[in-house]
Amino acid sequence: MDRLRSFVDFVEALRVLAQTNKPNRVFLVENQINEYLKVEAGNVRISLERLCDAIDREEAENRRGEDWSIARDYVRARLRRLA
């Protein structure tokens, strides 16, 4: 249950970053994802796939002012590097 709560908290943090227009948002998003992957180091591919699915669900909500492209592109790039 703690891992699920941790994942939900992580996605919430990404949602906040998706709503911001800070000039260093790319760094913040990538850093947040890298920190999550350090905690979920057991199987990086599965963690990235889970994250990719969560980002897809968040994007599908079409909430005004959210831009998930940075997180989406970074996670997909990390997955491609594992292939």
Residue 13 lies in a domain: no
The domain total for the chain is 1
- The beta strand positions in 1-83, using DSSP E, are none
Query: Which residues 6+ apart lie within 8 Å of 6 measured at CB?
Result: 39
> Which residues constitute the domain of residue 79?
42-83
**Cα(4)–Cα(68) distance, rounded to whole angstroms?**
21
pTM of the model: 0.87
Residue 35 lies in a domain: no
Read off the pLDDT of residues 2-52 as tens digits, 9 standing for 90 and up: 766 788 888 999 999 999 998 999 999 999 999 888 887 678 899 999 999
**Cα(23)–Cα(66) distance, rounded to whole angstroms?**
15
Read off the pLDDT of residues 65-82 as tens digits, 9 standing for 90 and up: 999 999 999 999 999 998
Residue 36 lies in a domain: no
> Scanning the structure block, which residue is given the tokens 């000039």?
23
